[in-house]
Structure formats: structure tokens, C-alpha cells
Structure 1
Amino acid sequence: MPLPHTSTSPSAQLHPCSVSLGIFLPAGLTAPLAERRTIDALAESGTGLFEVGVPHRAPVLDGPTITSAYHEALDRGTRVRDVLDTVSRAASRAPVVVMVYWESVARYGPGRFARDMKSAGAAGIMVVDLPDALAGTWAATLTETGLSSPRLVPPHTADDTLDEVCASASGWLYAPAAHEPTGYQGPLDLAGLDRSVRRLRKASTLPVVSGIGISTPALARAVAPLVDGVMVGSPIVGALTSAGREAAAALVADFATAVSAPAKDATHE
């Protein structure tokens, strides 16, 4: 199920195919020229969507791989103005959603943050720790700016809260595949994820994507039949930092192949 879009330009489409592979890339991990080459390599290897992460010093929902990458980017001097360059380059190759913690948005200024990311080519912004009290105002800001507002929906979300989350979301709903920080490498409760996705589909017509804990192509293949998009972060970031661009691109290609040929019975694999 494609996510809504208003034009045929890459930056305006969140999902160009029915089950898309999204790749997370922390902005500023390497020097600008190296980063541009990385973006090109990952795009050419099968990335259907880029999730560009805004580096944060205390990313409480992230595990050691992404936390370390964020710290390295910050130590390099990466700031929001640098993230805009990353978004612009990535948006020239695939749709882009900016992944960010609210503190960074608040410090920069919500309206300014949305406008600048839109100008850079982003299609949406997902605040992973968006305060419930600010969700409506933030959604209105993004709507006025022409951006989507995907929402992270933990499986324990109460029914009344779920309705509020869905009302403030656009673009997609994000169903975590694991109840752990990013980088989790254990087994996945596919039956539980299936129940969570079905619940979201009853509550909203928005597409559902999943990430967190999809650590191997085999797991991506198992998750793909349940959702409209599969998001992969820590495995790719880990490959980039430990083995380099070519290794990361090869791993993206493996994930892309897995997502394009999903398991027939994911809940029992």
C-alpha cells in the first residue's frame, strides 16, 4: 500500500512500492564527500526510503550502535544545519523522513525545523519521543508545512491513546518489531507483531511499517508480509562503521532482496 504523495518527485513519496525497504542513516557520521558517496551507494543497492537521523547526545530509545554513531557525529561538530545537507543529498536519491528527538526540534524551533527540513527535501518528520500533549500542535505545523508526521506506536498503547495517536499521524504508523532499544538482535515475536499491526489497521487507514530488531535479511523476509515497509538501521550503521561503505551497500542489497521476496507465512517462520 503506497503512502500518500502529491507529486512524482522522489522527495514527495514516502513509499514507492507496496513493501519498501527503509534504511536509517545518521547525519554527519562521516565527512560530507564520504557521506554523499555512502548515500549514493545505499540508494543504488535497493534503499526505497532514507530515514535520516538527527544526532542526539542522549537517544534513550536507541542502542549502542546508533548511540555511538550519534556521538561520533556530534563530536565531528554536526548540527541541524549539517543535517539539512544530508537530507538534501538523500532526497535526490529516494524519499526522506527525518528521525529526531523532540529536544532537538524544540531547541531549533518547531516551525523553523519543519520549514527547513521541507526546503531541504524531506517528505516527513518522525519525532520518536513526541510528547502526547504536543502531538496535535506538531501535526498541524507539519500539515501547514506540507510534511507527513509518522508516529511510533508501541504495542502497549491504550485504546483511547491509540485513537489520539492515529488522529495526529500522517504518512504511516510505526509498529516496533521488538520492545527493545534499536540494535536488538534477539528473536522476534512475529505473532505479537502481527496482532499489533492488525490492531493498527483497524484503528487507521494509514500504512504500517516496522523496524527495531530486524537485524538480519531473514528476519526482514519474515516481517515483510505483515507490513507496508521494513526499516533497518543498526545493522547498516554497524556495517558502515566497522567494514565500510561497500560492505554496508552489500548488506542493503541483501535486505532489499529479502523484502522483495517475503516469507509466505511470517507468523510461523
Structure 2
Amino acid sequence: MHSRLDACFATAREEGRSALIGYLPAGFPTVDGAIAAMRAMVAAGVDVVEVGLPYSDPTMDGPVIQDAADAALRGGVSTADVLRTVEAVAETGAPTLVMTYWNPVDRYGPARFAADLAAAGGAGTITPDLPPEESGPWLAAAAEHGLDPVFLVAPSSSDERIKRVADICRGFVYAASLMGVTGARAEVGNAAAGLVGRVRAVSDLPVAVGLGVSSAAQAARVASFADGVIVGSALVRVLLEARRRGAGESEALKDIGALAAELAAGVRGAVPASA
């Protein structure tokens, strides 16, 4: 059975391009503000949305995402708010995933979380800190509710590890382009293309590259060798900067839409990788 992510990547492939995946944490600057920003991203050309579930111990997140997630937590964002965000974004037709550390799902109850995420129209989850060896209960819950579980591989992953992760993924494999925490960088790690090749040697799933993409030219470069381009920190930074300068919601939405449109042009080949 084909999922919404399968259909999304198939459509992008038919159009001769990569899929653009955009991340924002739920609840920042407010729950409704985050929903509006995510919907603006979709309107500007983002194909898949990752809704971040803010967590108090985000071991993989860089300072930009941490700042926004901390603000969301101080604002009282809850798992129920995250699910409401998923529902509002999924209404656009874009496949909508929750990016979450495992502890909040474990506390909520994996079976209950899967049921509630599916009921909200969610397409799946990305769980960066859930080891494949401990993923059995989540894989069962996700399968029962038609959700795609996405896991990460990194340049340091052995070939055996890559195969183990790819075998349990559905939808796509998340390839972290470099070691370390998330964050926009001047150059996306050179190991990314090699990592994509290593995944493709053991899996037919699409491979999406994240961690470091911040510009249309970088998006175009990654799109030249990956099936998906994931952008998080650069989009979050737009909302943080809007808040710092006291911009209103309409201005913040205009800004995030503009960046999403630039990135969409990059993955669609309208911007050269060397720009």
C-alpha cells in the first residue's frame, strides 16, 4: 500500500526534481502562529512538513531550533497542540510528519500516539534518537495506523547500520549530511552525496538530506543527488528574527513564504547549484 509520502516522492520524481521538506517546531511563536507559518511554507512550494515536538532535552538540535523550542515550551505547548498543528497543516494536502525525540512519545504511550497522529491526518514520524534495536513497539504501532516511521543515518554509520536503518524505514530515509547538531551552514557537508549513494546501495527508498541547507543554491546542490532536501534551522531563524525585531505576523509569514519559495525554486532547478 502506497502512503502519502510515497505519492509525494513519486510526483516529484515524475517532475524530474527533489521533494522539499520543511521543518518548524509547533508552538512558536504561538500554536496558531506556527500553523500559519507552516501553511505559508506549503503555499510557497514546500512538499512535506515536519512538525517539531518541542522537548526539554533536545540532544540533536542546534541553537536556533533550541531557542524556538524553548520559547514554545515556556508558552505551554503540549502534545495535544502538536497534534492540532499536524491536523491543520495536513489539511493543505502536504504529507505532515512529527519530528520528535522518543521520550515524549514513550510518555504519551506509543499506541495512543500512533492512533492520535493518524486521526489528525499525520503521515508518520521522524525519531532521531530511537535506536532500531528498540523500535519494535513503535514500528508495530505505526504499521497498525498506516504511519511511515523515518529514521536517520549519518556519515559515521557503518554499511551494516545503514542497511538495518533503511530496512525499518518507510516513506524515506533521513540522511544527516554531517556530524553534529542541526543548523544552517555555509557549506553542506561533502559526505552527503556519498552517504546517499551508500543508502541507495541497500534500499530503494527515497533518500532525503538534512542538516545544513539554508539557501536556494544549497538546496539545488543537494537536489542534484538526493530525492529530498530538508530545511529546518534556516526557516526557524526567519521566525526568530521576526520576533526579535517586533515584526507582526503578516510580515513574518511573508518572510517565511519568501524563503520557502526560494528553496522551492532551488529544488525545482530554477536556481543553479553554483549560484
Under a length normalisation based on structure 1, what TM-score does the superposition of the two structures give? 0.90
Alpha-carbon distance in structure 2 between the residues aligned to 1:11 and 1:32: 25
Q: State the match for 2:116 in structure 1.
A: 116
Q: State the match for 2:172 in structure 1.
A: 172
Identity of paired residues, percent?
36
CA contact (8 A) 1:12 1:123 kept: no
After TM superposition, give the deviation of residue 140 of structure 1 in Å. 2.2
Structure 2 gaps, min length 5 = 243-251
CA contact (8 A) 2:155 2:177 kept: no
After TM superposition, give the deviation of residue 97 of structure 1 in Å. 1.1
Closer, same or farther in 2 for the Cα pair 1:184/1:42, shift >3 Å? closer
Q: State the match for 2:62 in structure 1.
A: 63
Q: State the match for 1:150 in structure 2.
A: 150
* Paired amino acid for 1:24: Y
1:187-226 map, 5 Å? 187-190=187-190, 192-226=191-225
1:56-95 map, 5 Å? 56-93=55-92, 94-95=94-95
Spell out, residue by residue over 1:102-129, the C-alpha distance to the aligned partner (whole angstroms, 9 max, x if none): 1111111111111111110111111111
For the aligned residue pairs, the C-alpha RMSD in angstroms reads 2.1
The alignment partner of 2:20 has SS state of strand
Alpha-carbon distance in structure 1 between the residues aligned to 2:270 and 2:106: 39
Under a length normalisation based on structure 2, what TM-score does the superposition of the two structures give? 0.88
After TM superposition, give the deviation of residue 177 of structure 1 in Å. 1.8
Spell out, residue by residue over 1:33-67, the C-alpha distance to the aligned partner (whole angstroms, 9 max, x if none): 43333233221111111000000111110100101
CA contact (8 A) 2:265 2:271 kept: no
Alpha-carbon distance in structure 2 between the residues aligned to 1:157 and 1:147: 25
Q: State the match for 1:233 in structure 2.
A: 232
Work out the number of aligned pairs and report it: 260
* Paired amino acid for 2:44: S
* Paired amino acid for 2:258: A
CA contact (8 A) 1:62 1:182 kept: yes
After TM superposition, give the deviation of residue 32 of structure 1 in Å. 3.8
